[in-house]
Each structure stands twice: as C-alpha cells, then as structure tokens.
Amino acid sequence: MATNDSNRVGLVISTTESIRVFLSGASQDPNLSHHLRHTSADLLSQSELSYEPLRSVWMASDPSTRPELTQLFSGTRFVFSSPKPRQKSEELKSRLKKLQDLAERKAYQELVKDIAPKKEVEEPFSSYKDQLGFGLHVVVTMFTGYLVGYAAFRALFNHSPAMNAAGGILGLVVAMLVETFLFIIRSSNLDASKTRSSQTPKSAFSASSLKKNQ
C-alpha cells in the first residue's frame, strides 16, 4: 500500500479497530497530558498514522489499562510513501528533442527511399585521388611561397644568405596560412550544404504531418 503524503516521517501504519479504540480512550484519559490527548484525537481521525506518536501515547498510558503492543498492532499494514516523480533536466529535454527529430528524419527517409532518389553527399578527401591531389597542391603552394619570399628578400637585403633563407621561410609560412584559410572556407561551405540538405527531409516530414493532422 502506498501514500502520497510527504509530511509523515518514519514508519507509517494503517489504522485498525483496536488502534481506534485505544486512541479514543487515550483522547479522554485525564492521566495523559493535554498534548498527548490532542495527539490521540488527531490520530483517531486518520486512516493511516505514524508509528512514533502512537508509541508515545501508548508509553504514557497506564500499563494496567493499555493493550499489549502485539494486540494493538494486530492486523495493521505498513504504508509506504510513493516516490516523487523524477524531474527531467533541461539538458535531458534538449537531448530527447534531438533524438526525436533524428528519429522522425530517419522515418521519413525510410518512407520515401523508394520514391525520392538518394542524394550523394560529397565528403572531403573521400578518395585516394583527392588526398593525393590536395597533398601535391599544398607542396606546390609551400614551394612557391618559399621561392617568392627568397627572391623578395634577396632583392631587398643585397644577396645575404641568412636573410634570403629567412625570406623563404616567411614566404612558406604565409603560403601555409593562405592555404589553411582557403581550406576552412571550403569546409564551411560543404558543411552548410550538408546542413541544408539534411533539413529538407525534416521540413517535408513536418509539412506532411501537418496535412495529416488537418
């Protein structure tokens, strides 16, 4: 048996006829304090009560008139409090929403896989040829940057070997930075294209769901 009363502390038991008879007599017992008589009257009106106040009333009662504990608690049942519902955090709600959107997108793709042609998403460096081409492009860019820097410093610093080498290294670094910047731009454009293509099925699925609801 369970209860939703969160104000009770400790062991909670169900009320029986023997407990009601005992509490009825205790609420009018002049030998008990006013507090215990008031407690007995409060417990008498409850169908489920805490063990501690009942025990306090029983301990203060006259041993010659009070019932035995085994007789008093005969037929009682333990009452357990129901746990509070678990609250979902905002992070968990957001994650569940993303999983739901992903499931809807997969369901839509499964629904139209025989109708709509499958879109091939271009991945960067997806083949050995692309990787080799990019590597050669980087090497050529670095070499070109080194030559430009070397020639520029050679003309500026009157054929100084140390300065010529420094100019070549500087040109190489600049070429690498330019190549990195261009690579970031290409990757960003590709990611944006993939995002737009992935959002299209979701929008179509939402529109179809709205039409069904209407």
Task: Select from 81, 98, 127 the last residue of a domain.
Answer: 81
Q: Are 25 and 32 in contact (CB under 8 A)?
A: no
The answer to whether residue 28 sits within a structural domain is: yes
CA–centroid distance for 213 within its chain: 30
Please tell me the predicted confidence (pLDDT) of residue 6.
47
| Lowest-confidence pick of 6-10, 30-34, 172-176 | 6-10
Amino acid of residue 104: E
Q: Are 1 and 14 in contact (CB under 8 A)?
A: yes
The answer to whether residue 42 sits within a structural domain is: yes
- In this structure, the answer to whether residues 63 and 132 fall within a common structural domain is no
The answer to whether residue 86 sits within a structural domain is: no
For residue 49, the tally of other CB atoms under 10 A from its CB is 23
- In this structure, the answer to whether residues 11 and 58 fall within a common structural domain is yes
The pLDDT tens digits for 160-195 are 778 878 888 888 888 888 888 887 887 777 767 666
The answer to whether residue 114 sits within a structural domain is: no
Q: Are 80 and 13 in contact (CB under 8 A)?
A: no
Task: Select from 81, 110, 137 the last residue of a domain.
Answer: 81
End-to-end CA distance of the chain: 45
Ordered alpha helix ranges (H), the chain? 17-26, 34-44, 51-60, 69-72, 90-111, 128-156, 161-213
- In this structure, the answer to whether residues 130 and 74 fall within a common structural domain is no
The answer to whether residue 26 sits within a structural domain is: yes
Range of the domain at 138: 119-205
For residue 20, the tally of other CB atoms under 10 A from its CB is 13
The pLDDT tens digits for 75-133 are 887 777 766 777 777 888 888 889 999 999 888 888 877 775 555 555 555 666 777 77
The reported pTM is 0.35
The answer to whether residue 94 sits within a structural domain is: no
Predicted confidence band of residue 212 (pLDDT cuts 50, 70, 90): very low
- In this structure, the answer to whether residues 62 and 9 fall within a common structural domain is yes
Q: Are 202 and 104 in contact (CB under 8 A)?
A: yes
Of 136 and 4, the structure prediction assigns the larger pLDDT to: 136
Task: Select from 54, 81, 108 the last residue of a domain.
Answer: 81
The answer to whether residue 104 sits within a structural domain is: no
The pLDDT tens digits for 38-61 are 888 888 888 788 888 888 888 888
Query: How many domains in the chain?
Result: 2
- In this structure, the answer to whether residues 135 and 185 fall within a common structural domain is yes
The answer to whether residue 111 sits within a structural domain is: no
| Lowest-confidence pick of 58-72, 94-108, 147-161 | 147-161
Please tell me the predicted confidence (pLDDT) of residue 63.
84
Q: Report d(CA 71, CA 73) in Å as an integer.
A: 6
The pLDDT tens digits for 196-211 are 655 554 455 454 554 4
Q: Check residue 7 and report its DSSP letter.
A: S
- In this structure, the answer to whether residues 73 and 133 fall within a common structural domain is no
